[in-house]
Amino acid sequence: MTDEPTIEAVPTEYAGTTFRSRLEADWAQTLDASRIKWAYEPETITLPSGTVYIPDFWLPELGTWIEVKGPGIPRVEKTIELAQTRACHCDGICGCAWPGGELIIIGRQSIGVAPDQRGYRPPTGYANWETPHGPSTYSVTCTACTRTQWITLRRPWRCRACKRSLEKQTVYRPIDRALRFVEGSAGLGGLWAMPDLDDA
């Protein structure tokens, strides 16, 4: 409570959608800035355990789900179960619609933008994520179709959108700070756009 301003639960409007939290809206902006198509809460899923679950984002071009979790929300059981269920279970060569099956990542608060004592956060940081099940996920931008995405290092490395090889491309962990995160301005009442990466 004292070291982390609790701003996650504030419903936030962005792109005609009311998100449950500012952090979710920030992820939507981040996906837009990276030209990643998204749908917010498009599906209600009944997991094998019988639990009903509505993941936050589905990325239809990438076969990837993002569940956004702030620091005070450690419960990720449903996300882990979804990830286990949707991962590839092929014997031998993967025949899934998406390489390795559907991918699930947990979207966290950005790194590199610690709030000051009054809770102000600078507008740009770097995306931070975790993998709830299976091998770690890395961000990569396909040079063939230019789509930014998350992949695991399970071979073959193929673009989840265009299916071309990514073997020669650099992949990034969150700590590599390669994927800019877009944050709404806390306290100034507006959301501002990410500066073009070329300007940096």
Does 145 participate in binding Zn ion (rule CB under 5 A)?
A: yes
Find the shortest distance in angstroms from Cβ 25 to Zn ion. 27
**Which residue lies nearer to Zn ion by CB, 96 or 113?**
96
Long-range pairs for 108-116: beta carbons < 8 A, 24 or more residues apart: 108/68, 108/69, 108/70, 108/71, 108/174, 109/23, 109/70, 109/71, 110/26, 110/181, 110/183, 111/174, 111/175, 111/177, 112/177, 113/181, 113/183, 115/4, 115/5, 115/186
The phi, psi pair for 79, rounded to 5°, reads -65, -40
* Distance in angstroms (rounded) separating the CA atoms of residues 67 and 159: 21
**Which residue lies nearer to Zn ion by CB, 47 or 94?**
94
Site for Zn ion in 116-135 (CB under 5 A): none
Task: Name the token pair of 95.
Answer: 């025949």
Find the shortest distance in angstroms from Cβ 7 to Zn ion. 35
**Which residue lies nearer to Zn ion by CB, 48 or 74?**
48
Instruction: Report DSSP letters for 43-94, one per residue.
Output: --EE-TTS-EE--SEEETTTTEEEEE--TT----HHHHHHHHHHB---SSS-
Window of 21-29, 64-72, 159-167, 192-200 that interacts with Zn ion by CB under 5 A? 159-167
Instruction: Report DSSP letters for 110-137, one per residue.
Output: EES----TT----SEEEEEEE-SSSS-E
Does 94 participate in binding Zn ion (rule CB under 5 A)?
A: yes
Does 186 participate in binding Zn ion (rule CB under 5 A)?
A: no
Find the shortest distance in angstroms from Cβ 138 to Zn ion. 15
Find the shortest distance in angstroms from Cβ 135 to Zn ion. 14
- Per-residue binder mask for Zn ion (CB under 5 A), 51-90, x = binder: -------------------------------------x-x
- Per-residue binder mask for Zn ion (CB under 5 A), 160-179, x = binder: -xx-----------------
**Which residue lies nearer to Zn ion by CB, 7 or 142?**
142
Residues near Zn ion, by CB under 5 A: 88, 90, 94, 96, 142, 144-145, 159, 161-162
